[in-house]
A and B are shown apart, each in its own frame.
Chain A
Amino acid sequence: MTDTALNPGGAPRSEAAMNAWRSREFLMRLGLYLFLSALTIVVLFPILWMASSSFKPQSELFARDMTLLPVDWTLASYIAVWQGTSFPSYFFNSFKIAVASTALSVIVGMYAAYAIARIKFRGRYAFGMLLLIAQMFPQIMLVIPLFIVVQKAGLLNTHIALIVCYAAFALPFTVWMMRGFFETIPEELEDAAAVDGAGILTTFHKIILPLAGPGLAAVTIFAFIRSWNEFLFALVFLQSRTMFTMPIGLASFQEEYTFRWDLIMAGAGIITLPILFFFLLMQKFIVAGLLGGAVKG
Chain B
Amino acid sequence: MLVQQRKRMAFWLILPTLLLIVAFKIAPIAEGVVVSFQAQSMMRPNPDAFVGWTHYKRAIFEEGVFGAALWRTIVWTVGSVVGAYIVGLSIALLLNRQFAGRAIFRALFLVPWVIPEVATALLWKWAYGDEFGVINFLLMRLGVLDTPILFLSSPGAAMASVIVVQIWKLYPIMFITLLAALQSVPRELHESAEIDGATVWQRFVYVTFPYIRPTSVIITLLAAIWTFQNFDIIYLLTGGGPADATKILPTLVYEKGFWGLELGYASAISLLMLLCLTVLSVSYLFVYRAQREET
What is A's interface to B at a CB cutoff of 8 Å?
1, 3-6, 8-9, 29, 32-33, 35-36, 39-40, 43-47, 49-50, 53, 61-62, 66, 108-109, 111-112, 114-116, 119-122, 124, 127, 130-131, 134, 136-149, 164-165, 167-169, 171-172, 175, 194, 199-201, 225, 228-229, 231-232, 236, 246-248, 250-251, 254, 261, 264-265, 268, 271-272, 275-276, 279-280, 283-284, 287, 290-291, 294-295, 297
Contacts and interface: CB of A to CB of B under 8 A. Distances in A.
Contact of A29 (B16, B18, B99): B99
Contacts of B123: 46-47, 49-50, 265, 268
B31 interface: yes
Given A4-B187, A283-B107, A175 B17 contact: yes
A194 B9 CA distance: 15
23 contacts: A32-B99, A36-B105, A40-B108, A46-B127, A47-B112, A47-B115, A66-B137, A108-B16, A134-B25, A138-B228, A138-B274, A144-B266, A147-B257, A148-B31, A169-B24, A194-B1, A229-B118, A247-B118, A264-B122, A265-B126, A290-B177, A291-B176, A291-B177
Given A43-B112, A231-B118, A137 B29 contact: yes
Given A250-B122, A275-B114, A287-B176, A49 B134 contact: yes
Interface in B45-104: 91, 94-95, 97-99, 101-103
Among B21, B102, B107, which residue has the most Cβ atoms of chain A within 10 A?
B21
A39 B175 CA distance: 14
Contacts of A268: 118-119, 122-123
B105 A140 contact: no
B206 interface: no
Given A44-B108, A272-B119, A146 B114 contact: no
Interface of B: 1, 6-7, 9-11, 13-14, 16-18, 20-21, 23-29, 31-32, 35, 40, 91, 94-95, 97-99, 101-103, 105-112, 114-119, 122-124, 126-127, 132, 134, 137, 168, 176-177, 179-180, 183, 187, 190-191, 194-195, 225, 228-229, 231-232, 236, 249-250, 253-254, 257-258, 263, 266-267, 270-271, 273-274, 277
